[in-house]
Structure 1
Amino acid sequence: MNDTPGWASPGSAPSDGQEPGTSTSPEPADRPGGTQPADQPAKKPQGPGPQWSPQQPPPGQWSAPTGPPNPGQAPPPPPPGPGWGTRPPTGPGYGPTGPGGYGGYGAPGGWGGGWGGPPPAAKPGVIPLRPLGVGEILDGAVSTMRTYWRTVLGISLTVAIVIEVIVVLLQGLVLDESAGTAALGDASATVDEQLDAMGSVLLNSGVIFLVSLVGTITATALLTAVTSRAVLGKPVTTGEAWRDARPQLLKLFGLILLLLVMVTAIAVVCVLPGALLGGAAGDALTAIGSIGSILVAVSLLVRFSLAPPALMLEKQGIKKALARSAKLVRGSWWRVFGIQVLSLIIANVVAMIIAVPFALLGAALSPGGLSAFTDAGADLGWTYLVVSGIGSVIGSLITFPITAGVAVLLYVDQRIRREALDLDLARAAGVQGYGTPGTTPGS
């Protein structure tokens, strides 16, 4: 009998002309000339070789029986894979030659070729509960918009309309009258006049930015609650999202304000030495400081980019939320940076595709016409402000859900990768047997 797993030498079974139960004593291997004692009959040679019985098939054509096995006889084990030694032969006697050969024990390329891999991860909501790819994060944000469009549309539309009404009123009643930006397009204007005009532009932009920032933070807080429920496949109304986000809303404002102060302080520290030095050396130092401040600011913003969802979903304070974000981003800075930048590019490009035609239409309907875009001191009027504001509202319906959804799903993805959050999410979603012995959670 051959000791190789799953294989047996031909002619070694009890059916080789020997009655079951008959015992034979082994012959000494050193008997000279292979002679037999006189009182014993000659025996047939055992084992494969040139003196096989005519009833035995040739060695290369022997195969396992294809009929039903004898009662009480265990089936032979599967043949070894290629990693055990020489590759097993293929043919009609050795199982299928296509994919998944050897009765499903694996294709000739290795074990598991006919298995199909682990079972798919549970997907109670908009994402599968396993580490996500870039496309799955973006698709999850879009799926949240599509699945829970009533809540998402209601939140985004309400916030966007409030923002645009305030901005239009400020521009039409206050900011345009005090702008005094005509000096920017006047070559004969003095330096003081141009500085005053630049100050007016910065003031206008700053006021509009603050109004937009307040609205964006509010929309982000509410949409964070919606996206977190969408991961579990549980719908949420606007009122429920507001009740969930309201206790953390002031902390979120404080967190964003702290990040803005941090970025401003970095810019001042990096640019101020060159501005104080003056001259050509000062200009060069200012340029280097500006580049350095941008790099440092981007590094910190990416490091703390997951602080808002950590603050909202974990009910953390500002300091702990910053520490949580730094911990989750550590070792994945470039990945987080790339996904955030990609989502911002996609959202803003789509918003611009929608907003620019409205801005051109508003300018065409205004008294100054399209030529007003080239005139720095032109007053486009209420028609332009209203029509362009409508375009901005429609664009915000896309930018708000995508940016907020990507931030939340990226936070969930990092926690799944580092803390096995998928198990907690599966239990919260009511998935039966997820993560217990005998199941394979997403990995």
Structure 2
Amino acid sequence: MNDSPGRAVPGPSPSDGERPGAPDGQQGGGPQQGDTAPRPPAGGQKWSAEQPPPGEWQSPGAPQPPQPAPAPTAVPQQPAPRSWAASTGPTGPAAGQQAPYGGQYGYPGGPGPWGKPPAAKPGTIPLRPLDMGEILDGAVATMRGQWRSVLSISLVVATIVQVVDLVLKKYALADLPAPDPEAGPGALLDAMGASLMSSSASLLIQFIGGILAAALLTMVFSRAVLGRSSTVAEAWRDARPRLPHLVGLTLLLGLGAAVLVAVLLLPAVLARSIGLALLGALVAFPLLIWLGIKFSLASPALMLEKSSIPTALRRSSKLVRGSWWRIFGITALTALITGFISAVIIYPLLFLGAAVSGSGFSGFEDGTLLDDWTFLVILGIASVIAQTITLPMQSGVTVLLYVDQRIRREALDLELARAAGLENYGTDPTAPPTGG
């Protein structure tokens, strides 16, 4: 039987059974013993009157008739949404299924995991699974391409935070009495409580500033993925309705971390044991890191999917599952890079401020530098510069990690391509899509 691909022979061929027209008991195929009659020539007598008409099947040696080209089918174009951030849930495969290489990259014969598949790049990243270098490069490219919006947001937020922190350090923290171990338990607790209250006010200002910067920068980076610029006013308009939810999410995560640490350290406090305290700290530290990475994508999920706080936590847990170590590595590397940048900026200016202050370097030991305006102003300027650079990078990496995980698991690249206006994206797996 002829098994050539592309030929569908209707009915049994002569080699499958008895040859039509042959005597009983004689099989088809080659000449049988006692069969002296020649085979009918090609194009002559047919095997039987019920043979299908020419054109449906030809003998192996006969030329194939030209096949008409299939009529092109019109692909209905869906209108591009205003923003892909309006997505309210996962797209692509069913929940729990992973789309290899983001939907159209999993076709047979396509590029494997050792090669990068062709992909469109309407914005700062290609629409396919990203490696660590592409995520970092995408964050830097957005900062460079959208520098007016990005630097304006981070500069304003960092300036407000540092001005308030400067005032607190000058008029609140500097007037606090230093804890004296010989003053008695009551005086020591009062001094520690006052210091804690003043420090909490500074942390609260930084907390609010960080939330505001993260919300606005998330909108800027999400538009940059589609190749669209975003002004500060547009970012504020998109982020403002979600700010209360983001505040609630951040407070919930902070409260959960505090409760976890308190529960693990409570036995040490009750037993007044330093050994139990160290053991509790050793257990709490890895748990906090694990939970921090597990819920690290909750913020972009909350802002871009417009979901509730519990849904955002579940979405982050689902997206991180199976990729914890990868996300941890990228997050840790980003923290090292931003920490190095901050140190390079802050420490030289810190020593410069100490050198030009009235207290000199001895102010580090006796704490008199907190009373010197020159030192505080130089330290504030250094902190503003460092936060202006590091805040966008941290927010950008988090947003791009969220996009990358959704491309890997939910074929978000198809939604992004439609939102970016790419025509016929993903319909021809053998050719890279073209931008519109």
- Pairwise same-fold verdict (TM > 0.5): yes
Matched, 1:413 2:404: yes
Q: How far apart are residue 199 of structure 1 and its match?
A: 3.8
Q: How far apart are residue 119 of structure 1 and its match?
A: 5.8
Q: 1:167 aligns with which of 143, 165, 168?
A: 165
Q: Is 1:126–1:231's contact at 8 Å kept on the other side of the alignment?
A: yes
Question: C-alpha separation between the residues in 1 aligned to 2:332 and 2:177?
Answer: 35
Q: 1:150 aligns with which of 137, 148, 151?
A: 148
Change over 3 Å in CA distance of 1:221–1:259 after alignment to 2: same
Secondary structure at the aligned position of 2:358 is classed as coil
- 1:94-132: per-residue Cα shift (whole Å, max 9, x none)? xxxxxxxxxxxxxxxxx999xx97762111111111111
Q: 1:206 aligns with which of 193, 200, 204?
A: 200
Counterparts of residues 117-136 of structure 1 (less than 5 Å): 120-136=118-134
Question: C-alpha separation between the residues in 2 aligned to 1:324 and 1:112?
Answer: 30
Q: 2:244 aligns with which of 228, 250, 254?
A: 250
Number of the residue aligned with 2:217: 223
Question: C-alpha separation between the residues in 1 aligned to 2:348 and 2:371?
Answer: 16
Counterparts of residues 17-36 of structure 1 (less than 5 Å): none
Counterparts of residues 10-409 of structure 1 (less than 5 Å): 120-177=118-175, 179-181=176-178, 183=180, 194-278=188-272, 282-376=273-367, 379-409=370-400
Structure with more contact order per residue of length (Cα contacts < 8 Å, sep ≥ 6): 2
Secondary structure at the aligned position of 1:367 is classed as coil
Question: C-alpha separation between the residues in 2 aligned to 1:294 and 1:117?
Answer: 38
Q: Percent identity?
A: 51
Q: How far apart are residue 433 of structure 1 and its match?
A: 2.2
Which letter does structure 1 place at the counterpart of 2:326?
A: R
Question: C-alpha separation between the residues in 1 aligned to 2:214 and 2:250?
Answer: 12
Secondary structure at the aligned position of 2:174 is classed as helix
Which stretches in structure 1 are left out of the alignment for 5+ residues?
Answer: 1-25, 27-71, 75-110
Question: C-alpha separation between the residues in 2 aligned to 1:408 and 1:350?
Answer: 21
Secondary structure at the aligned position of 1:126 is classed as coil
Which letter does structure 1 place at the counterpart of 2:140?
A: V
Change over 3 Å in CA distance of 1:244–1:276 after alignment to 2: same
Please, what is the CA RMSD of the aligned residues? Answer: 3.0
Question: C-alpha separation between the residues in 1 aligned to 2:292 and 2:431?
Answer: 36
Which stretches in structure 2 are left out of the alignment for 5+ residues?
Answer: 1-29, 31-61, 65-108
Which letter does structure 2 place at the counterpart of 1:307?
A: A
Q: How far apart are residue 296 of structure 1 and its match?
A: 1.7
- 1:287-321: per-residue Cα shift (whole Å, max 9, x none)? 11111122222211111110000000001111110
Q: How far apart are residue 283 of structure 1 and its match?
A: 2.2
Which letter does structure 2 place at the counterpart of 1:372?
A: G
Moved runs in structure 1, 4+ residues, more than 3 A? 116-119, 187-204, 376-380, 438-442
Q: Is 2:172–2:198's contact at 8 Å kept on the other side of the alignment?
A: no
Which letter does structure 2 place at the counterpart of 1:430?
A: G
Q: Is 1:351–1:395's contact at 8 Å kept on the other side of the alignment?
A: yes
Change over 3 Å in CA distance of 1:253–1:440 after alignment to 2: farther
Q: How far apart are residue 371 of structure 1 and its match?
A: 1.2
Question: C-alpha separation between the residues in 2 aligned to 1:389 and 1:404?
Answer: 22
Change over 3 Å in CA distance of 1:379–1:397 after alignment to 2: closer
Question: C-alpha separation between the residues in 2 aligned to 1:118 and 1:368?
Answer: 58
Q: How far apart are residue 407 of structure 1 and its match?
A: 0.3
Question: C-alpha separation between the residues in 1 aligned to 2:432 and 2:426?
Answer: 5
Q: How far apart are residue 190 of structure 1 and its match?
A: 5.3
Change over 3 Å in CA distance of 1:199–1:140 after alignment to 2: same
TM-score, length basis structure 1: 0.69
- 1:5-26: per-residue Cα shift (whole Å, max 9, x none)? xxxxxxxxxxxxxxxxxxxxx9
Q: How far apart are residue 149 of structure 1 and its match?
A: 0.5
Q: Is 1:368–1:380's contact at 8 Å kept on the other side of the alignment?
A: no
Q: Is 1:433–1:439's contact at 8 Å kept on the other side of the alignment?
A: no
TM-score, length basis structure 2: 0.70
Question: C-alpha separation between the residues in 2 aligned to 1:399 and 1:145?
Answer: 10
Number of the residue aligned with 1:96: none
Q: Which has the larger radius of gyration?
A: 1
Secondary structure at the aligned position of 2:403 is classed as helix
